[in-house]
Amino acid sequence: MSIFKMSASTLAITALTATVAAARDNVQVAGSSTVLPYASIVAEAFGENFDYPTPVVESGGSSAGLKRFCEGVGENTIDIANASRAIREKELAACAENGVTDIIEVRIGYDGIVFASQLDGPDYSTFEPADIFNALAPQVLVDGALVDNPHTMWSDFNADLPAEEILAFIPGTKHGTREVFEEKVLAAGCEATGAHDAMIAAGMSEDDAEDACLAVRGDGVAVDIDGDYTETLARIDANANGIGVFGLAFYENNTDALKVATMSGVEPTTESISTGEYPVSRPLYFYIKAAHIGVIPGLKEFAEFFVADEIAGPDGPLAEYGLVSDPALGDVQATVMDEVTMGN
């Protein structure tokens, strides 16, 4: 259903709130912690380049952001929900119950990270999530028992990896790609090695086991990098045996200094990430409340700016921070410009 064919309930709510909503002159955004850094970069640039207040961007997680988004229409509700996954049917139903029936789904790009090392360094040609987990987890399975991680070299648990001291520079807890690193690498490796089942068998609850799977060693082997990828590159430059986690675009701009490993035998490329073939990737979204367009000043302009070539394209600032540009970005831009709602 398009914004020009609103349901009677949405039209009524919009009519009632339009005059009040005009009192709020800034765009309000909430949701995914993964999308937060990207949205914050765009919000700051938007405030500097347009005659609108800088949008307010909050975190809280995809589910929490979509819950707030679905609370209704009006100035006391947010305009955009960021999400590191697609909106679910039950969330769409909750939205509809509260009069949020016209939603524009915007795929901003892909969250994809690569593992790269010094061009002339050791041969880390391929990894499995299990390798990263065995290298970095505080506890791992050894001879069927869950023990404090004894591994000091990659070859300790995988003879196909170099006999080099383990040292990994990973996305810090404040970094936009930390979540995909945890979900697609650590959690997957924990499952693959059997460590997750061993934790449950040892008496851990499911929630505690999931949290434990995402933990990393605190002995200096895993180094959090909260800054941009230039800091990670500097660490790799100074440590010949180091492995760094980078966004694809940053790696591709530094192939004179870095070589990349495959993950589960798949080479990271824009195509393999956008199709989901490369396992350490996923699409990222934001959702716009169409009824707020034309009511909240700058809402559509902010959304269009977010997906513009110079922002979300392969040479834009979001790619520099780790976002993999959507090969179908032109279609995404058309969706925003034409205000195409879900189901149309």
The per-residue pLDDT for range 296-310, each reduced to its tens digit, is 999 999 999 999 999
Calculate mean pLDDT across residues 81-106: 96
Residue 273 in tokens: 């990430």
Q: Please name the residue that has the structure tokens 């492995």.
A: 243
Please check the confidence at residue 133 and state whether its pLDDT lies above 50. Answer: yes
pLDDT in tens, 37-62: 899 999 999 999 999 999 999 988 89
**pLDDT for 175 beyond 80:** no
Percent of all residues in the chain with a pLDDT value above 70, rounded to a whole number: 93
Q: Hey, what are 221's tokens?
A: 């082997």
Give the per-residue pLDDT at 7: 44
Q: Please indicate whether residue 247 or residue 53 has the higher confidence score (pLDDT).
A: 53
pLDDT at 10: 44
User: What is the per-residue pLDDT for 21?
Assistant: 42
Mean pLDDT computed over every residue of the chain: 91
Geometric angle at alpha carbon 168, from 166 and 174, rounded to 5° = 150
pLDDT in tens, 259-301: 999 999 999 998 999 889 999 998 999 999 999 999 999 999 9
pLDDT at position 234, please?
Answer: 96
Q: Angle CA(234)–CA(280)–CA(86) in degrees, nearest 5?
A: 125
Distance CA 270, CA 290 (A): 30
Domains of the chain: 20-110+284-337 (3.40.190.10), 112-281 (3.40.190.10)
Res 23: pLDDT: 57
Residue 4 has pLDDT above 80, yes or no: no
pLDDT of residue 138: 98
Average pLDDT over residues 307-331: 92
Binning pLDDT at 50, 70 and 90, where does residue 334 land?
very high
Span 159-176, average pLDDT:
91
Pair 56, 196: CB distance under 8 Å: no
Cross-strand bridge partners of residue 288? 80, 104
Say whether pLDDT at 239 is over 50: yes
In this prediction, residue 111 carries a pLDDT of: 85
H-state helical runs in 182-328: 187-193, 195-201, 206-213, 229-238, 248-252, 270-274, 299-306, 309-312, 317-320
Q: What is the DSSP string of 26-70?
A: S-EEEE-TTTHHHHHHHHHHHHHHSSSPPPEEEEE-HHHHHHHHT
pLDDT of 238 over the 60 cut:
yes
pLDDT tens column, 15-35:
444 444 445 899 999 998 889
Nearest to 303 by CA among 62, 52, 111, 106: 106
Q: How far apart are CA 30 and CA 82, in angstroms?
A: 6
Q: Name the region of 265 (left: φ>0; alpha: ψ -120 to 50; beta: rest).
A: left
* Predicted local distance difference test score (pLDDT) of residue 154: 98
The span from the CA of 321 to the CA of 337, in Å, is 25
For the stretch 6-16, pLDDT in tens is 444 444 444 44
- Write the CA distances from 123 to 107, 108, 265, integer angstroms: 35, 34, 15
Q: What tokens appear for 52 in the block?
A: 């609108």
Six-digit token string for 46: 């938007």
Residue-wise pLDDT for 176-234, tens only, equals: 678 889 999 999 999 999 999 999 999 999 999 999 999 999 999 999 998 778 999 99
